[in-house]
Structure formats: structure tokens, C-alpha cells
């Protein structure tokens, strides 16, 4: 089946936008349009291609709103998302659309593995474990069955789905932060019970974290993450909610060097969920990291 594809790239003006757009141009499955959505006042630099359309959004700092603006403006029947610091391998769309052909109708999302660059010279392949057919997205993403991140992931630049799905189930709802992608995916699965989520074992995109992330914040946002979990994971198994509360909010607390934040996250996990051993161990180890850093700081002259 031949499908028309609109690539949607939200940008904050990173220099890496050029190579992101070039990776779309280089696809073996030709895209119909490349929609770049830039924040107001941002200068964009792209390769020359008649398919490129640049839109401007007034809301700063919310990539989900930019993605939705691009989705609403798209003329293609399929949306493929890309962040401005990531890239696609040349066969990304061809492989994903081939997989989508196995699904009747427009109730599907296709993802894949990705190569993760950074921090520094590190290079890894995520996710280690693929989502199973019919599996709950919330369970796949947030049940913690090991002490390493990267076991489960459905990252933005790997996602491809029908335009109709992206318009009926919208990105950037008020309560979606700080997890835009999981919020949309969970909402899509709950709204469309027969939604097929296909995750290919191929490594088809590059997720670049060498330059840091605009989403990283050193203020204590622990409570924001806790509230997200209580709101979006309500109704999920207690293990899923408990594991989430012992991991993502704890990571936020560690970024803020907040031992009190770790305590609040664990208390919430025990009150509202049933965290597993790996999630509890993760929280304990990270509390230890904060204490160790404080001890080292206290010894410095």
C-alpha cells in the first residue's frame, strides 16, 4: 500500500536541525512534506528542498504543542515524528510502513529500536525489551524489572501513526507534562482499545543526548512527577504505579539533590501502589547517591 507521509519536526533552533531534516530527505520511502514547527523568534537552517514547510508557534517550551500544530497542518495520511536533535536511518519509514500494512484500518502506531548517542562517547541500543502484542503501554513503560534504564522505550523520533489518530487524540493536553509521549500513547490505547502498537527490532533512528535536553531541570519537580503518575496511571496495576513512583519522581529528586523529594516519592509509592523490589532498590540507591554527594561536599575546604 502506498501512503502519503508528513514528517513533523518540532524545533527550538538547534544547529542539529539541518541533519535531522537531511535524514528525512534521505529516506528510501519518499515523504510528501517536511513540516518544521519552530518557536517564535527562532532562526531555522535547513537543507534546500521544496517539500519543506516552516510553521511558527507562539507557545514556547512545549514540543507537544508544536507537534500537534504540525499534525493539524499535515496533508499526508501518515505522521512520522522527529525531534530536531535526532536522525532517522535511510530505511526507517520503508520498514515501518511495511509493518503497518499488516494492520487493517488506521488503529496503529509503529515504533522501533534506536541508537542512543551519549552522554560523551557512549553508544547504546534501546529498548532492550520490545513491547508485546496487546500489552498495556503503561505496564511496558513503567514496570521496573531491572536496575538499568533503557529496558523499555517508545521514543518520539521512532513514532509513526495515521494522521487521523493524531488529530482525534491530541498531543499537549494540560496534564501531560512532564511525560508528553507516554501521556499521548496511554491515552491513545485507552481511547482505541484495538490499537496495535508494533515495535520493530530494527535500529531505525538515532537518539542524541550528547547536547543535553531542554527538559532537564535542577529545580525540585518531584511533586510534578508524582502527580502525573497518580493522574495518568490511575487504574493500572498497583505494581505499575508503585514502580513508576519509585523511579521517575526519584530521578527528578536526584537531579534537584533533594533527599526530601526521594522520601515523598517513596511514601507516595507505598501509599498508592505496590512497588517491586527493583524499583525500591533503585530509590534506595539514589537516596544513597544524594547522601554521598552531601558527604563529599561537606569534606571539601
Q: Is residue 87's pLDDT more than 60?
A: yes
Q: Report the pLDDT value the prediction gives residue 62, as an integer from 0 to 100.
A: 87
DSSP 147-204: SSTTSS---GGG-EEEHHHHHHS-S--TT-TT-HHHHHHHHHHHHSTT-EEEEEEEEE
pLDDT band at 40 (very low <50, low <70, confident <90, very high): confident
Neighbour tally for 264: CB within 10 Å: 19
Strands 52-57 and 196-208: unpaired
- Report the chain's mean pLDDT, rounded to a whole number: 94
pLDDT tens digit string along 126-142?
999 999 999 999 999 99
The burial of 216, by beta-carbon neighbours within 10 Å (0-12 exposed, 13-18 middle, 19 or more buried), is given as exposed
In whole angstroms, what is the distance from residue 123 CA to residue 208 CA?
Answer: 10
pLDDT of the residue at 74: 98
Q: Which of 218, 225, 215 is nearest to 264 (CA)?
A: 225
Number of H helices, E strands in the chain: 11, 9
Confidence of residue 188 (pLDDT cuts 50, 70, 90): very high
What percent of the chain shows pLDDT beyond 70?
A: 98
Predicted pLDDT of residue 59: 76
Whether this model's pTM surpasses 0.85: yes
Provide the pLDDT confidence category of residue 189 given band limits of 50, 70 and 90: very high
For residues 201 and 114, give the distance between their C-alpha atoms in angstroms, rounded to a whole number: 9
Altogether, the residues listed in the chain come to a count of 301
Whether residue 238 contacts residue 142, with contact meaning beta carbons closer than 8 Å, is answered with: no
Give the whole-angstrom CA distance, residue 187 versus residue 295: 43
d(CA 263, CA 161): 39
Calpha distance 184→161 (Å, rounded): 12
Residue found by looking up cell 501512503 in the block: 3
Query: Alpha-carbon distance 205 to 141, whole Å?
Result: 19
Three-state DSSP class for residue 208: strand
Contacts of 36 (CB under 8 A, 6+ apart): 9, 11, 17, 21, 44, 46, 52, 53, 54, 55
Beta carbons of 198 and 109 less than 8 angstroms apart? yes
Model pLDDT, residue 217: 57
Q: In terms of CATH, what superfamily is 5-208?
A: Spore Coat Polysaccharide Biosynthesis Protein SpsA; Chain A (3.90.550.10)
Confidence of residue 63 (pLDDT cuts 50, 70, 90): very high
**Could you tell me whether strands 5-11 and 78-83 are parallel, antiparallel, or unpaired per DSSP bridges?**
parallel
Tell which wins on pLDDT, 248 or 210.
Answer: 248
Amino acid at each position: 500500500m502506498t501512503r502519503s507521509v508528513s514528517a513533523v519536526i518540532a524545533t527550538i533552533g538547534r544547529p542539529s536541525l539541518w541533519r535531522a531534516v537531511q535524514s528525512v530527505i534521505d529516506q528510501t520511502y519518499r515523504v510528501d512534506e517536511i513540516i518544521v514547527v519552530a518557536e517564535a523568534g527562532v532562526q531555522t537552517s535547513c537543507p534546500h528542498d521544496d517539500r519543506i514547510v516552516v510553521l511558527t508557534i507562539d507557545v514556547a517550551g512545549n514540543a507537544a504543542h508544536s507537534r500537534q500544530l504540525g499534525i493539524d497542518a499535515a496533508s499526508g495520511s501518515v505522521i512520522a515524528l522527529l525531534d530536531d536533535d535526532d536522525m532517522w536511518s535511510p530505511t526507517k519509514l520503508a520498514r515501518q510502513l511495511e509493518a503497518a500494512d499488516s494492520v487493517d484500518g488506521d488503529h496503529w502506531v509503529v515504533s522501533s529500536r534506536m541508537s542512543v548517542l551519549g552522554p560523551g562517547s557512549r553508544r547504546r541500543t534501546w529498548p532492550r525489551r520490545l513491547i508485546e502484542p496487546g500489552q498495556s503501554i503503561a505496564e511496558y513503560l513503567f514496570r521496573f524489572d531491572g536496575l538499568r534504564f533503557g529496558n523499555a522505550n517508545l521514543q518520539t523520533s521512532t513514532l509513526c501513526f495515521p494522521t487521523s489518530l493524531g488529530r482525534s487524540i491530541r498531543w499537549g493536553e494540560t496534564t501531560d507534562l512532564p511525560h508528553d509521549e507516554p501521556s499521548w500513547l496511554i491515552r491513545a490505547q485507552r481511547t482505541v482499545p484495538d490499537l496495535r502498537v508494533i515495535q520493530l527490532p530494527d535500529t531505525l533512528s538515532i537518539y542524541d543526548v550528547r547536547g543535553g535536553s531542554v527538559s532537564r531541570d535542577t529545580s525540585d519537580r518531584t511533586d510534578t512527577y508524582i502527580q502525573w503518575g497518580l493522574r495518568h496511571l490511575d487504574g493500572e496495576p498497583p505494581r505499575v504505579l508503585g514502580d513508576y513512583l519509585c523511579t521517575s519522581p526519584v530521578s527528578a529528586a536526584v537531579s534537584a539533590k533533594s533527599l526530601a523529594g526521594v522520601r515523598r516519592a517513596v511514601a507516595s509509592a507505598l501509599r498508592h501502589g505496590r512497588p517491586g523490589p527493583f524499583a525500591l532498590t533503585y530509590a534506595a540507591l539514589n537516596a544513597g547517591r544524594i547522601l554521598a554527594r552531601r558527604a563529599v561536599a561537606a569534606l571539601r575546604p
